[in-house]
Structure 1
Amino acid sequence: MERTARAASTPTPEPLPAGDVAALLDGVPRQRGPVAALAPDTSRTVLQLRLPRPLPRRLLPTPTGTPVTFTYTAILALTSLFASWASPGLRYALYQDSSTDVAHLLRTPVFVLLASALWIAGGLLSPYALAFVLVLTALERRIGGARAILVFLAGHVLATLATEVPVGLAVLAGHLPDTSLHRLDYGISFGVAASIGALSGLLAPWLRWPLLALVGYSLVTDLIAFQDPMTNWGHLISLGIGTGLWPLVRRWRRERLQALPVAVPAAP
């Protein structure tokens, strides 16, 4: 609540000396959370009010506020720009070498699972590019960078395996041709979908359910269109993985809030 001071009818008193002001500050009740900070290497407690960041700075990654998302975004921007400038043959070769198809997963699973997450299918203009920036930034601010990446990788890896393993089994059973072992599969969309699902569990209900309804409707619509059913199923699976992580991300959120610094009284 904003407070205002009314001028008294008595004459304005003389300013207090600096030492008296410091003594008065020692009587101010301690505040919890990010509104109070202790100045290092001094004998006085300094109460520092942290004003809310401007909205664009809170939505977008910054080197100091969300370093993990900022670094990952920079890498994705570089790879996307390189792909847009490279020749079609080179671009296809890079995508193929990074593809998480069955053949690559059998030979170099760790490499392709990581390399495939360095590209954006559709480039910087893809809706998943914007979703990545906004969702990962919000998630990192709430649970930390390392944990946000764990959520992203959980969706990316588990949804990839959930869609590619059945392809391999279908080829072994003779239901699909051998060429299905080399289908092109790369991008960040599985990780983004899982991050959206996880982030929704940290939002207020009035925002959580409309977000899930909108994203779920979009993914189901893509699946009904049947243009790329394996990828579309992967998006729904990864969204489900993210929502399944609600208890974990909520616990991480509580731990992060409890770890915020608390001001202590000044030494006499």
Structure 2
Amino acid sequence: MDPVLSGLLVGVRRARVTLSYAVIVTTVTALMVRMDPAMHDALIRHASTNLHNLSHGRVGTLVGSAFVVDAGSIYLWLPGLICLLLAAELTYGGWRLVLTFVTGHVGATLLVAAGLATAVKLDWLSASIARAPDVGMSYGAMAVVGALTAALPPRWRPAWLGFWFAAAAVVIAGGAGFTDVGHVVALTLGVLVSTRFGVQPQWSVLRVALLTLGASFGFLVLADGLVSLIYGLAWGALGALTAAGFDRLRSVGRAEEQPCR
């Protein structure tokens, strides 16, 4: 077999989950673009994982909603999503990527739905929120961002976590909607899932580039809006520096204790 073709086939096999998901999402998005407004809105309502659909037993929305993305032009978000998923698949493998994505998408959806149901019952929120549209891949994507924590060298993990959770706190403090809360929940679930992976990859230039582009996409998902983007970057950087500083002090303290022992 030709070496170029052989290398291409190997690359496709290593990225089959990412490529399969990208093809399905692209196909669904292309069909949605060609729909008339009424049919488009009906699809969104039918696929939404909102309280109305879940309370009526439409659990299929937990799967279908991940493939229905209503986030503007596909050319703006699909490349970043592919970079993020590909970084995780090359690092952890396909089945771990699927596990992470499903855990974030389904887990965050159900936890947010439980919170919304409680808030509506206590009259903290209007009952109209039960029909709010909720589709897309953002929960799964944020879980993948969180899962990449365990793939980083240990010395970088505190700064990575400090950045993401500081930025998330700013977004929520700015009067976030329930989807923003869901992003933070999914991020946390991804971090927790990754603690069971036990993988220490060798970071090549390609993987670093994919991680950088994918993380940038994840940040844009988290900080949806110019104000959130600016404050998220500022406080995220502060959180990264603070976390890294504390980790450094702890390491120095441990090093000083060793001679005494």
Deviations 1:62-114 (A, max 9, x none): 53221111100111112222223322222111111010011111223430000
Q: TM-score, normalised by structure 1?
A: 0.64
Indicate whether 1:163 and 2:81 are aligned. no
CA distance, structure 1, for counterparts of residue 29 and residue 162 of structure 2: 30
Q: For residue 234 of structure 1, what is the amino acid of its counterpart? A: G
Higher helix residue share: 2
Cα 1:207–1:148 shift into 2, 3 Å = same
CA distance, structure 1, for counterparts of residue 27 and residue 156 of structure 2: 33
**Mapping for residues 127-206 of structure 1, pairs under 5 Å:** 127=77, 129-205=78-154
Name 1:237's counterpart in structure 2.
185
CA distance, structure 1, for counterparts of residue 158 and residue 84 of structure 2: 16
Name 1:19's counterpart in structure 2.
none
Deviations 1:218-259 (A, max 9, x none): 433432332x42111111111111111232122xx37xxxxx
**Mapping for residues 56-95 of structure 1, pairs under 5 Å:** 62-95=11-44
Name 2:204's counterpart in structure 1.
none
Deviations 1:125-176 (A, max 9, x none): 455x444312221221222212211111101111111111121122233333
Q: For residue 240 of structure 1, what is the amino acid of its counterpart? A: T
Indicate whether 1:102 and 2:39 are aligned. no
Q: For residue 70 of structure 1, what is the amino acid of its counterpart? A: L
Q: For residue 134 of structure 1, what is the amino acid of its counterpart? A: C
List runs of 5+ in structure 1 lacking aligned partners.
1-52, 255-268
| Structure ID, larger Rg | 1
CA distance, structure 2, for counterparts of residue 217 and residue 131 of structure 1: 22
Cα 1:122–1:79 shift into 2, 3 Å = same
**Mapping for residues 2-17 of structure 1, pairs under 5 Å:** none
Aligned length: 193
Secondary structure in structure 1 of the residue aligned to 2:119: helix
Cα 1:101–1:138 shift into 2, 3 Å = same
Q: For residue 112 of structure 1, what is the amino acid of its counterpart? A: T
Cα 1:194–1:131 shift into 2, 3 Å = farther
Pairwise CA distance, 1:202: 0.8
Asked if the contact 1:76/1:118 (under 8 Å) is kept, the reply is yes
Secondary structure in structure 2 of the residue aligned to 1:175: coil
Name 2:242's counterpart in structure 1.
none
Cα 1:121–1:210 shift into 2, 3 Å = farther
Cα 1:211–1:87 shift into 2, 3 Å = farther
List runs of 5+ in structure 2 lacking aligned partners.
1-6, 201-261
CA distance, structure 2, for counterparts of residue 80 and residue 217 of structure 1: 33
Cα RMSD for the two superposed structures: 2.7
Indicate whether 1:223 and 2:172 are aligned. yes
Asked if the contact 1:121/1:188 (under 8 Å) is kept, the reply is no
Identity %: 26
